[in-house]
A and B are shown apart, each in its own frame.
Chain A
Amino acid sequence: MAVTVILPRSLVSLIAGTARTTRVEASTVREAIDRLDDASPGLRNRLIDSGPVLREHINVFVDGEQASLDTAVGADATIHVIPAVSGG
């Protein structure tokens, strides 16, 4: 099913070929990231750590609810990828 993925600006500027908003076919968060990586190799490594798990300071929300890699996504869901607000 088609879902919408919204990436942070810092990731879009880092990886050629990515866009802030992308439609992909996926049934989980992990599948959505995999589809983005298919089109823009290297994106998965920026978001997923060994485990595999989302990197410690990467937050993902599905329709506004905090999610993990295995979270299911329904048709027309919106996935927000948001780096944690931190640093100095």
Chain B
Amino acid sequence: MTRTLLLVGTRKGAFMVDGGANRSTWSVSDPMCEGWPVHDLQWDPATGSIYAGAGSPWFGPAVFRSDDLGATWTHSSEGMTYGDDGPKIPAVWNVTPANGSIYAGVEPAGLFRSNDGGATWSHVSGLRDHPSRPTWQPGAGGLICHTIVPHPTDPKRMWVAISAVGTFATEDGGATWEARNHGVAACFLPDPHPETGQCVHKLAMAAGEPDTFYQQNHCGVYRSRDGGRTWDDISAGLSSRFGFVMGTHPRDAATAWVIPLSDPEAGRYAPNGALAVWRTSDRGDTWERQSNGLPQEHAFVGVLREAMSVDRGDPAGIYFGTSTGQLYGSTDEGASWALIADHLPSIWGVQAIEVD
């Protein structure tokens, strides 16, 4: 029996929310990962292992690993360092299995790779060797490498996103990286169209089209059809240009979801207290507001960058968590929504997986 699990990272530990085979009733686990702040969780279907990217204010960064669906965990940050003279690393913000390795995006922004299931880590130094690095500046969440998107078939190709620096891509396995932000505004800078300095919040690849990307940025929503080399602004029709999450459909490259939030200098919560997810079915040309079942009054909640996930069901399920601890889900591609869990710690990451 295949069941849907939601891996939920919060400010105070990770949780597993089990939706069973039909995604209609959900049960919430006890806290995992020793109550550490957990930014992101991912599952490696090749091995069945779950990984959690975390950072403790006392004990530093770590990637936790569970080989038994969360019953027991190990953790390591061995080798996760910029050297004794380099900046200290407080947290792991993203963990992504790819091509037999595990990648970790950290703060301050950089990329590490493990070839032994997370036991030891080595720096993918080419990213921080990019000539723009002396100009990298943090966003409100820090200078963080928060998104890692591997190419589905070519192990030499990968994209990462850094706040507030922008999108980068490698085509040589991480040795060298190219900034890919042309057409994306940095609306908060004197020069709104620099090579880097864009505040990308989330990057998602379209299903079956490895060169099609959707991006939620501080300054708008964008689409690329050439692997991020150029971007088109697709914000028209949305209630706000600002937001954090970006989700893509598991089979339809034209469908994606965002959650617009109020102006970044005016709360960053559901506009007018009415919570809604917005869906495009035509690659961002038009948007549809989806709020059936979501609170439409006094819901001044935020949704952070890792806190949305789309499962592979048919119809696809969509899940998001709020920074005030509510977990919402839809099993009909956003047409209707239900509260799955409440009273969790501030939710930072949501990842839907299907396991046997």
Question: Could you tell me which A residues sit within 8 Å of B by CB distance?
Answer: 10-11, 13-14, 42, 45-47, 49-52, 55-58, 83-84, 86-87
What residues on A are CB-neighbors of B75 within 8 Å? 14, 42
If A10-B58, A45-B60, A50-B86 are given as contacts, then 20 extra A-B residue pairs at C-beta distance below 8 Å, sorted by A number, are A10-B59, A11-B59, A13-B34, A14-B75, A42-B76, A45-B76, A45-B78, A50-B84, A50-B85, A51-B84, A51-B88, A52-B84, A55-B58, A55-B59, A56-B88, A58-B58, A58-B59, A83-B58, A84-B58, A87-B57
The residue in B56, B77, B86 that gathers the most chain A C-beta atoms within 10 A of its C-beta is B56
Residues of A within 8 A of B296 (CB): none
Taking a contact as CB atoms under 8 Å apart, the answer to whether A50 and B57 are in contact is: no
Across the interface, do B60 and A42 meet the contact criterion of CB distance under 8 Å? no
B40-59 CB mask vs A (1 if < 8 Å, else 0) is: 00000000000000001111
Q: How distant is the Cα of A47 from the Cα of B59 in the complex, in angstroms?
A: 6
* In the assembled complex, B83 has its CB within 8 A of some CB on chain A: yes
A83 to B56: give the CA distance in the assembly, Å.
Answer: 11
Contacts of B78 in A (CB 8 A): 42, 45
Please indicate the chain A residues that have their CB under 8 angstroms from the CB of B83 in the complex. 50
- How many residues of chain B are within 8 Å of chain A by beta carbon? 19
**A45/B58 in contact, CB under 8 A:** no
Which of A14, A42, A56, A58 counts the most chain B CB atoms within 10 A?
Answer: A14
Q: List 24 A-B contacts (CB under 8 A).
A: A10-B34, A10-B59, A11-B59, A13-B34, A14-B34, A42-B76, A45-B78, A46-B56, A49-B60, A50-B81, A50-B83, A50-B84, A50-B85, A50-B86, A50-B88, A50-B89, A51-B84, A51-B88, A55-B59, A55-B60, A56-B88, A57-B58, A84-B58, A87-B57
B188 within 8 A of A: no
Instruction: Please encode chain B, from 56 to 79, with 1 for each CB lying within 8 Å of some chain A CB and 0 for all others.
Output: 111110100000000000011110
Shortest distance from the beta carbon of A72 to any chain B beta carbon, whole Å: 22
Q: Are the CB atoms of A46 and B60 closer together than 8 Å?
A: yes
**Cβ of B57: which chain A residues have Cβ within 8 Å of it?**
57, 86-87
Q: How far is the CA of A46 from the CA of B59 in the complex (A)?
A: 4
* A47 CB, min distance to chain B CBs, angstroms: 7
Give CA–CA (A51, B62) in the complex, Å. 18
Q: Closest residue to B76 on the A side, CB-wise?
A: A42
User: Least Cβ distance of B37 to chain A in Å?
Assistant: 10
Q: Is there an interface contact between A45 and B34, defined as CB atoms closer than 8 Å?
A: no
Question: From residue B51, how far is it (CB to closest CB) to chain A in Å?
Answer: 16
Bound Cα distance from A47 to B345, whole angstroms:
26
Note all chain B residues with C-beta closer than 8 A to A55: 58-60
Q: How far is the CB of B134 from chain A (nearest CB, A)?
A: 20
Q: Considering the chains assembled together, what is the distance between the CA atoms of A10 and B59 in angstroms?
A: 10
C-alpha gap A55/B175 in the complex (Å): 31
Rounded to whole angstroms, the CA-CA distance of A57 and B55 in the bound complex is: 13
Query: Roughly how many angstroms separate A58 CA and B81 CA in the complex, as a whole number?
Result: 18
How many angstroms from the CA of A52 to the CA of B86 in the assembled complex?
A: 11
What B residues does A86 contact at CB under 8 A? 57
